[in-house]
Amino acid sequence: MVVDQHSETEIDRLFQAFSDATRRDIVRRVTVGEYSVSGLAALYAMSFAAVQKHVAVLERASLVTKEKRGREQIVRGNHDGLQKARQLLDEYEAIWRQRVDRIADILAEK
Amino acid sequence: MVVDQHSETEIDRLFQAFSDATRRDIVRRVTVGEYSVSGLAALYAMSFAAVQKHVAVLERASLVTKEKRGREQIVRGNHDGLQKARQLLDEYEAIWRQRVDRIADILAEK
DNA sequence: ATATCCTACAACCAAATGGTTGTAGATCAG
DNA sequence: CTGATCTACAACCATTTGGTTGTAGGATAT
């Protein structure tokens, strides 16, 4: 495998971030509206610190942004990460379509 | 969070499977053509057993299928997992679009 | 001024992950 | 038949992950 190390670990982080139900829920929530970290923490049956870590994972994956406002940290959705993930999966879908086309061509030759 | 446990852990597995560069490479390869597990193992700087585990992770995520042929196990791409992942991300994209529409409506009211 | 709220971060823990080596059973080739 | 190949799986190991509690500091409200 000779792949760009930087972007590959970025993609690792992106899908890793999506692979947890709590984090996916956070992403949905903060895309619709604003939440402070403690506001999010109130929603789940886990400690504030645990939610804080989830938000940190999402931020590193560009799925969420944080902005300090007074004593609160406001969490909002970040479209960048989602767009990158979707683009990635579109590439895999394109490989499937090429394969289907290739098989169709072979059948047509007969 | 009151979510369907079964499908949620399925999604966990799906994105978890995508969060590793070797596994993503395997998915691309076996979508284009057929590979035995040892055929795949020859491509990477890791043991046969490690690749075997990666394939197992992909199989559980419905990103790949295995079929025994003689003494070999043939690995092929499985479109189901990819489709599910793409559908999921499309739902997140839809949330974004709703948000954009909502903001546009508010602006239009003024 | 002081108590409360929100956040950051360290230290710790159990379980999962990604890798290894080794063993054993099928299947194939000569 | 024998040896080589392919796979499955167990046992082990280091690191990461997802959670906890505790401490400390900055911002807010009374």
Per-residue pLDDT averaged across B66-75, rounded?
Answer: 97
| Predicted confidence (pLDDT) at residue B32 exceeds the cutoff of 90 | yes
CB contact under 8 A, B96 and A15: no
pLDDT confidence band for A76 (50 / 70 / 90): very high
The one-letter amino acid code at A50 reads A
Q: Which nucleotides of D are covered by protein (CB under 7 A)?
A: 5-11, 17-22, 25-28
State which residue of chain A sits closest to B100, comparing Cα positions: A32
* Residue B72 and residue B66 in contact, taking contact as beta carbons nearer than 8 Å: no
Residue B52 CB-half CA count within 13 A: 6
Beta-bridge partners for B69: B72
| ipTM of this complex prediction, to 2 decimal places | 0.92
Residue A85 corresponds to which amino acid? A
What residue ranges do the domains of chain A occupy? 5-109
pLDDT score for A103: 85
Above pLDDT 70, what percent of chain B? 94
Q: Please tell us whether the domain made up of B5-109 is placed in CATH 1.10.10.10.
A: yes
Tell me the pLDDT tens digit for each residue of B41-70: 999 999 999 999 999 999 999 999 999 999
Pairing assessment for the beta strands A72-77 and A64-69 based on DSSP bridges: antiparallel
Q: What's the rounded Cα separation, in Å, for the pair B10 and A19?
A: 10
pLDDT digits (tens, 9 = 90+) for B33-42: 999 999 999 9
- In A1-110 the beta strands, taken as DSSP E runs, fall at 35-36, 64-69, 72-77
CA–CA separation, B17 and A88 (whole Å): 14
Q: Which helix (H) or strand (E) holds A12?
A: helix A5-18
| Residue B41 CA: distances (Å) to CA of A90, A92, B30, B69 | 26, 21, 12, 17
Asked if the C-beta of B20 comes within 8 angstroms of chain A's C-beta atoms, the answer is: yes
Band (B100; pLDDT cuts 50, 70, 90): confident
Q: Which nucleotide is nearest to B44 (CA to C1')?
A: C19
Q: How far is CA A42 from CA A26, A28, A47, A50, in A?
A: 12, 16, 9, 12
Q: Is B15 in contact with A11 (Cβ distance < 8 A)?
A: no
Return phi, psi of residue A92, to 5°.
-65, -40
Residue B47 in tokens:
């043991």
